[in-house]
Amino acid sequence: MSEKKSLLVDKSTMPLAVGVAFVAFTTQFGGGFASGAQIYAYFINYGVWCLFLPIFTQLLYALFFWYGMRYSYRNRLYDYRSFSDHFYGKYRAVFSNLFELTYLIMIATASGAAFATGGSTLNTLFHLPYWLCTLAVGLCIFLIALFGTAVVRKAAATVSVLIIVGLLLVLVPNIIAQWDAISASISSMAGGSMSVASDKSGAFGPALWSAFLYFLFQLPSVSVMYQHMEVLNSEKQVNRAAVYIFITNTAAMMLSIVGLLAVAYVSDLATASVPMLVLVQNGVGSAFLTPVISILIILGAISTGVNMVSGIVTRCVNAMERRIGDTEKRRAGHFRRNILFALVFTLAAFAIAQFGLMAVVKKGYAYLGYAALVSVFIPFVVRFFVREKNASR
C-alpha cells in the first residue's frame, strides 16, 4: 500500500513541477524571443560567444529562480509584496518599495511590449486597426489573468507546448536545410567577423555583460512565480521545477540561436524587426511557416502579458483581503476583486501600447536590469551567502 501511495505521489508531483517550469518559460520567452529580436540584440550581435553565454545566462536564471521559489515555499509567501517584506526584514521600508518600483517598470516594459508586439503582428496579418489588435490581445490577457493562478499555470503549460512545437516546426527543418550557412556563420564569427546587424567588436567582455544584463532584466519576473508555490506540497517539487526551467529554457534558446545563425550574414537582417521571419523567408516552407511564426509571436506576447498582470493582481488582491477579517466576506468578494485589478492593470498596459513607446520600452529593459541589480540580484546573493555561512557554524 505504501509503495502504491508513493507512486501516486510521484505522478501527481510531476505535472505541478512542470507547470511551474512552464510559467517561467512563458515569462521569459515572449514575443521578443519568438521574433528573434532579443536573441540577436543580446547574444548573436556579440559574435561567437552566443554559442556559450546563453547556457551561463540560463544557469543563473534557474539558480536565482530556485532560491526565490524555495524561500517563498518555506515561508508561505505567495505574492511578491509579502515575500519582499519578509525577505528584506528590517530593510523592507527601502527595498520592498524599491522592488515595487522595479515591478512597475517590469509591468510597463514587458506588458507594454507584449501588447505592442502582439498588436503589431495581428495588424500585419489581418490589416486591422492597431488599437483594435492591441484590444484583442488585451482581452485575452484579461480573461486568463482574472481567473487566478491555476488557470494561469494551465494556460502557461498549453502555450509553452505550442511555442515549443512551433519552434521545432520552424527551426528543425531550417537548421537541416541551412546547415552549411550555419557552419559558415560559426566559422566567420570564430574568425572575428560580426553579424550584418552588429556594431560590436566581438570581444568577450561586452558579450558577457550583455548576457548578464539579459539575465538581470529577466530576474524580476521571479516574483510572478511566488503565487504558484502555494499549490506545491514538497520542497522537492521546487528543486525539480528549477531543473526543468534550466533544461527547457536552455534548449529553446540554443535551438533558436543555432537556427538564426543561418541568416547572420543575410543583408535583409540589417533592417529586419523580426529576424525569425528572415530565417523563414530564406529557408524552407516559407508559405506555411510565416503564419506559424506570427502565431508564435502572438502567443508569446499574450503569455508574457498574462504572467506579469497576474503577478500584480495577486499582490493587490492579497493586500486588500488581509484587511478583511470575515472569511466568508473575503471569499465572497474574491472574484470581483480579481476582475477589478485585472482590468486596471490590463488597461494600463493597453494604454502604454497606444502611445507607441517601443523606443522607451527598449530603454526600459536596460533600466529594468539596473533596478533588478540593486533590488533583487545583490540582496539575493548577500542573503544566500550570509545564511549559508551562519548555517555552517
Residue 97: its pLDDT value, please?
92
Question: Using alpha carbons only, how large is the chain's radius of gyration in Å?
Answer: 21
Q: Which of 264, 110, 133 lies closest to 186, judged by CA?
A: 264
Q: Is the pLDDT of residue 6 over 60?
A: no
Residue 95: its pLDDT value, please?
92
CATH class of the domain whose range is 16-369? mainly alpha
Confidence of residue 9 (pLDDT cuts 50, 70, 90): very low
Confidence of residue 354 (pLDDT cuts 50, 70, 90): confident
Q: What contacts 352, CB < 8 A, 6 or more positions away?
A: 108, 111, 112, 115
Confidence of residue 226 (pLDDT cuts 50, 70, 90): very high
Q: What are the pLDDT digits (tens) for 335-347?
A: 888 888 889 988 8
Residue 14: its pLDDT value, please?
46
Q: What are the pLDDT digits (tens) for 60-95?
A: 999 999 999 999 999 999 888 899 999 999 999 999
Q: Is the pLDDT of residue 324 over 70?
A: yes
Residue 272: its pLDDT value, please?
73
Q: What contacts 212, CB < 8 A, 6 or more positions away?
A: 57, 60
Q: What one-character DSSP code corresponds to residue 326?
A: -
Q: Report, as an integer, the average pLDDT of 380-393.
A: 73
pTM (2 d.p.): 0.81
Q: To 10 degrees, what angle do helices 92-106 and 80-88 make?
A: 150
Counting other chains too, the contacts that 155-160 makes at CB distance below 8 Å and 24 or more residues apart are 155/303, 155/306, 156/19, 156/22, 156/23, 156/25, 156/26, 156/303, 156/306, 156/307, 157/18, 157/19, 157/22, 159/22, 159/26, 159/299, 159/300, 159/302, 159/303, 160/22, 160/25, 160/26, 160/248, 160/303
Residue 258: its pLDDT value, please?
95
Cβ proximity of 24 and 64 under 8 Å: no
Q: Report, as an integer, the average pLDDT of 106-131.
A: 79
Confidence of residue 58 (pLDDT cuts 50, 70, 90): very high
Q: What are the pLDDT digits (tens) for 157-215?
A: 777 788 888 888 889 999 999 999 999 999 999 999 999 988 898 899 999 999 999 99
- 196-205 residues labelled b (16+ CB within 10 A) or e (exposed): bbbeeebeee
Q: To 10 degrees, what angle do helices 204-218 and 53-75 make?
A: 30
Q: What contacts 60, CB < 8 A, 6 or more positions away?
A: 212, 215
Q: Report, as an integer, the average pLDDT of 267-280.
A: 80
Q: Report, as an integer, the average pLDDT of 300-311.
A: 81
H helices of 146-285, where? 149-177, 179-190, 204-218, 235-260, 275-281
Residue 164: its pLDDT value, please?
82
Residue 222: its pLDDT value, please?
92
Lookup: cell for 328? 466568508
CA distance 8 to 1: 11
Q: What contacts 310, CB < 8 A, 6 or more positions away?
A: 144, 145, 148, 149, 152, 224, 227, 342
Give me the sign of the Cα torsion angle 310, 308, 156, 135: positive
Q: Report, as an integer, the average pLDDT of 126-148.
A: 84
Q: What are the pLDDT digits (tens) for 43-56?
A: 999 999 999 999 99
Residue 206: its pLDDT value, please?
95
Half-sphere exposure of 310 (CA within 13 A, CB side): 32
Per-chain mean pLDDT for the chain: 84
Q: Is the pLDDT of residue 107 over 80?
A: no
Q: Is the pLDDT of residue 5 over 50?
A: no
DSSP secondary structure, 184-214, as one string: HHHHHHHTTPPPTT------HHHHHHHHHHH
Which amino acid, 208? Answer: L
pLDDT higher at 254 or 148: 254
Residue 72: its pLDDT value, please?
95
CA distance 311 to 332: 21
Q: Is the pLDDT of residue 255 over 90?
A: yes
Residue 283: its pLDDT value, please?
83
Q: Is the pLDDT of residue 388 over 70?
A: no
